[in-house]
């Protein structure tokens, strides 16, 4: 046997219990003594096999740091490099296990509790949900997020109703307090995801799920993470009696959600019934995706009836047909599965430029505009013709029909596209179309997407009925939004480029875009050419009797106006930058997009309307 230096104390502590006595033989790793410091117990273990010869302190006595705890002698050779004076209090502990499972009791308690966060713990609720053709909150999240990427926050929360319900009841029936929150990846990018659970207290907003929401929104703002909200539910919850509050109007969720505006992409998804507070959050989103079976309203049936406004079924309040036509819903889909597909597609435009794409047949653009200058055509064919195949996502397609708005990719680059719609009011811009366009400009500007406008408009809509819609204020929003753009803007005039409407479609002036071109079919004027002839040549026309002779003069004068306002003449006077073969449009746009730069964002934010 060889002598060994003393076992020393790793810290200043009191002796709680000696587990050895003088003369006792111990193996390497055996616990020698329990010390206590700052209410925490520390085990001191034998670094090697040996025999205890003397205990230096008694139970309850204070041992200074690095003072000898006991004397002993080795029973075997000390491995090279082992510090015999080191008493490891960090060695693995032998933990108690449950007899039934062989798992520590605390770990088993967690496993038992986590069972109730899974859909499988509530088969009746899930069966009812699926019978309605709907998915659970967790099913939607699993579909949205890349496989295995979702990290849940607040899974163990329950409703704040312990004073009126048992703990077992709350755990079983109010999992996650009716809202699943966390961070997952969508198309490879970290994204905050929040989903109200309509199977838990009708998806109402409880005090604890408000706390969870606020936590996630703070993380999203701080770390600039996109947010996806599944907003189905009935608004505020009156049954959370554990919280010492009266009205709950002090919650910060709505202000926090609105604060994300312009900072990160925010997507709202509605399926089923989305009322009150849930609808308020939905309305703060950049884009609203909703199913055909959805109902969206600032008050559900109970609130409507409580205000003495009548008795209605949920299906009568804010049905999707109404909300799509009035502009609340940006993208109308068949079901939640399609909503998730659209959400992933939408988010992709704000994530990165792709390196692989398929270009459309460029020559088909030559046939988009009819040779007959009065013939209506579909400008969406032009949108598809300049965009990567399969990339186009139209927004607010049911509202503001005079202008199409879409997110697309051009050679892999995300771009926002505006296009007049000659099939509606001849392409004239009314209040709804102007509102739709102005907000789209804000959306692209906030998130740094270049903008392409395809122009074919006779101008702003006019007339007594139009002015009754506050047309003057609405259409002016296009000028104001364009004046604050920080992104490249390119314009292509497909046919008509008349008056103030054409200027609004080109960021306020033909000199405002990074580049402006026209197709050979382009025609320009300070106002509609037919109207210009009637007004400018009224005397000459009225000097002739009604009939063929007057009509012939009108057509000759109109032909002169069309020729004077042709694309070639506009380019010759440098009022536009170029006239391009329609088949070359995509290449022209790619070159322009490569030349443009996105400037720092200074606001304003994205209008909720």
- Integer distance in angstroms from the first to the last C-alpha of the chain? 87
pLDDT of residue 4: 56
For the ranges 134-138, 142-146, 159-163, the lowest mean pLDDT is seen at 159-163
**How many angstroms separate the CA atoms of 85 and 28, rounded?**
13
Q: Classify burial at 147, counting beta carbons within 10 Å of its beta carbon; exposed 0-12, middle 13-18, buried 19 or more.
A: exposed
Where does the pLDDT of residue 605 fall: very low under 50, low under 70, confident under 90, or very high at 90 and above?
confident
Asked if residue 509 lies in contact with residue 485, where contact means CB atoms within 8 angstroms, the answer is no
Mean pLDDT of 338-360: 96
Q: Tell me if residue 271 falls in helix, strand or coil.
A: coil
Asked if residue 503 lies in contact with residue 524, where contact means CB atoms within 8 angstroms, the answer is no
What tokens does 457 get?
Answer: 């408009």
For the ranges 239-253, 281-295, 454-468, the lowest mean pLDDT is seen at 239-253
**How many angstroms separate the CA atoms of 307 and 297, rounded?**
14
Q: What percent of the chain has pLDDT over 70?
A: 95
Instruction: Report the candidate in 173, 156, 163, 154 with the shortest Cα–Cα distance to residue 242.
Output: 163
For the ranges 143-157, 513-527, 542-556, the lowest mean pLDDT is seen at 542-556
- The pTM for the full model equals 0.86
Mean pLDDT of 9-35: 94
Asked if residue 10 lies in contact with residue 34, where contact means CB atoms within 8 angstroms, the answer is no
What element of type H or E holds 503?
helix 499-505
Report the 10 Å Cβ neighbour count for 595.
11
Q: pLDDT tens digit string along 76-98?
A: 654 433 344 444 433 444 455 55
For the ranges 6-20, 186-200, 212-226, 302-316, the lowest mean pLDDT is seen at 302-316
- Kindly give, in sequence order, each residue whose CB lies less than 8 Å from that of residue 321, ignoring residues fewer than 6 positions away: none
- Kindly give, in sequence order, each residue whose CB lies less than 8 Å from that of residue 52, ignoring residues fewer than 6 positions away: 20, 21, 22, 23, 24, 25, 26, 32, 70, 71, 72
**pLDDT, the chain, mean:** 91
**How many angstroms separate the CA atoms of 256 and 170, rounded?**
28
Mean pLDDT of 187-213: 93
pLDDT of residue 499: 92
Q: In what order do the strands lie in the sheet with 62-63?
A: 40-45, 31-37, 13-18, 62-63
What tokens does 584 get?
Answer: 């070359």
What tokens does 275 get?
Answer: 């009322």
**How many angstroms separate the CA atoms of 393 and 386, rounded?**
13
Where does the pLDDT of residue 558 fall: very low under 50, low under 70, confident under 90, or very high at 90 and above?
confident
Where does the pLDDT of residue 244 fall: very low under 50, low under 70, confident under 90, or very high at 90 and above?
confident
pLDDT of residue 84: 41
**How many angstroms separate the CA atoms of 519 and 515, rounded?**
14
Q: pLDDT tens digit string along 89-123?
A: 334 444 555 556 688 888 988 998 899 999 999 99
Mean pLDDT of 538-567: 86
310: left (phi over 0), alpha (psi -120 to 50) or beta: left
E-assigned strands of 364-501? 393-395, 403-410, 413-420, 451-457, 489-498
Instruction: Give me the domains of the chain, ranges plus CATH numbers.
Output: 2-74 (2.40.50.100), 110-348 (3.90.226.10), 362-522+566-595 (3.90.226.10)
CA distances from 277 to 204, 280, 299, 328 (A): 8, 5, 9, 15
pLDDT of residue 547: 87
**How many angstroms separate the CA atoms of 429 and 459, rounded?**
6
Q: Tell me if residue 490 falls in helix, strand or coil.
A: strand
Mean pLDDT of 168-185: 93
Asked if residue 144 lies in contact with residue 344, where contact means CB atoms within 8 angstroms, the answer is yes
pLDDT of residue 81: 37
CA distances from 504 to 196, 253, 429, 459 (A): 40, 37, 9, 9
Does residue 6 register a pLDDT over 70? yes
Burial 333-372 (b: 16+ CB within 10 A, else e): beebeebbebbbbbbbbbbeeeeebeebebeebbebbeee
For tokens 């200027």, name the residue: 503
More confident residue, 115 or 603: 115
Asked if residue 263 lies in contact with residue 603, where contact means CB atoms within 8 angstroms, the answer is no
Displacement of CA 16 from its chain's centroid (Å): 56
Does residue 303 register a pLDDT over 50? yes
DSSP state of 383: H
Report the 10 Å Cβ neighbour count for 458.
26
Q: Tell me if residue 369 falls in helix, strand or coil.
A: coil
What tokens does 498 get?
Answer: 């008349």
Q: With the CA atoms of 18, 22, 25 and 26 taken in that order, what torsion angle do they form, in degrees rounded to the nearest 10?
A: 30
DSSP string, 297-344: ESS-HHHHHHTTS----GGGSSBHHHHHHTTS-SEEESSHHHHHHHHH
Q: In what order do the strands lie in the sheet with 287-291?
A: 151-153, 179-186, 189-196, 227-230, 266-270, 287-291, 331-333
């Amino acid at each position: 046997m060889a002598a060994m230096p003393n076992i020393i104390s790793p810290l200043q502590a009191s002796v709680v219990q000696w587990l050895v006595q003088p003369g006792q033989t111990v193996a390497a790793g055996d616990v020698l003594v329990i010390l206590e410091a700052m209410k925490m117990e520390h085990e001191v273990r034998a670094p090697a096999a040996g025999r205890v010869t003397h205990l230096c302190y008694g139970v309850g006595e204070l041992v200074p740091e690095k003072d000898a705890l006991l004397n002993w002698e080795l029973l075997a050779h000390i491995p090279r490099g082992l510090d015999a004076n080191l008493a490891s209090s960090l060695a693995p502990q032998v933990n108690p296990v449950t007899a039934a499972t062989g798992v520590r009791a605390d770990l088993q308690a967690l496993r038992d509790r986590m069972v109730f966060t899974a859909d499988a713990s509530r088969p009746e609720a899930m069966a009812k949900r699926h019978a309605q053709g709907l998915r659970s909150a967790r099913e939607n999240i699993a579909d949205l997020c890349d496989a295995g990427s979702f990290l849940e926050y607040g899974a163990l929360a329950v409703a704040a109703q312990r004073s009126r319900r048992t703990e077992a009841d709350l755990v079983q029936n109010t999992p996650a307090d009716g809202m699943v929150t966390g961070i997952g990846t969508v198309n490879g990018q970290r994204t905050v995801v929040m989903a109200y659970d309509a199977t838990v207290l009708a998806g109402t907003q409880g005090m604890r799920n408000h706390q969870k929401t606020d936590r996630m929104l703070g993380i999203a703002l701080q770390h600039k993470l996109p947010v996806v909200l599944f907003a189905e539910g009935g608004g505020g919850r009156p049954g959370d009696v554990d919280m010492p509050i009266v009205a709950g109007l002090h919650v910060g969720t709505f202000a926090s959600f609105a604060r994300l505006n312009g900072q990160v992409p925010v997507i709202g998804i509605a399926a089923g019934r989305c009322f009150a507070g849930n609808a308020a959050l939905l309305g703060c989103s950049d884009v609203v995706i909703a199913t055909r079976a959805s109902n969206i309203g600032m008050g559900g049936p109970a609130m409507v009836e409580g205000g003495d406004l009548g008795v209605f079924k949920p299906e009568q309040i804010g049905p999707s047909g109404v909300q799509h036509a009035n502009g609340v819903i940006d993208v109308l889909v068949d079901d939640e599965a399609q909503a998730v597909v659209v959400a992933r597609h939408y988010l992709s435009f704000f994530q990165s430029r792709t390196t692989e794409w398929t270009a459309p047949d460029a020559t088909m653009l030559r046939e988009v505009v009819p040779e007959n200058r009065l013939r209506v055509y579909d400008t969406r064919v032009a949108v598809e013709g300049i965009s990567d195949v399969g990339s186009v996502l139209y927004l607010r397609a049911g509202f503001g029909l005079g202008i199409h708005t879409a997110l697309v990719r051009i050679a892999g680059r995300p771009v926002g596209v505006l296009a007049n719609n000659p099939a509606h009011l001849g392409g004239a811009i009314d209040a709804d179309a102007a509102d739709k366009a102005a907000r789209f400009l804000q959306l692209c500007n906030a998130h740094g997407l270049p903008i392409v406008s395809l122009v074919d408009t006779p101008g702003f809509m006019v007339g007594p009925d139009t002015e009754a819609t506050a047309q003057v204020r609405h259409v002016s929003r296009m000028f104001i939004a364009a004046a604050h753009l920080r992104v490249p803007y390119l314009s292509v005039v497909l046919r008509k480029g008349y008056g103030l409407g054409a200027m609004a479609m080109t960021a306020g002036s033909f000199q405002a875009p990074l580049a402006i071109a026209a197709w050979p079919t382009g025609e320009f004027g300070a106002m509609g050419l037919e109207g210009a002839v009637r007004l400018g040549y009224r005397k000459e026309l009225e000097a002739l009797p009604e009939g063929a002779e007057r009509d012939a003069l009108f057509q000759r004068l109109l032909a002169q106006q069309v020729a004077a306002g042709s694309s070639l003449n506009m380019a010759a006077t440098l009022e536009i930058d170029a006239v391009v073969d329609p088949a070359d449009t995509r290449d022209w746009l790619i070159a322009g997009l490569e030349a443009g730069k996105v400037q720092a964002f200074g606001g304003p934010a994205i209008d909720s309307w």
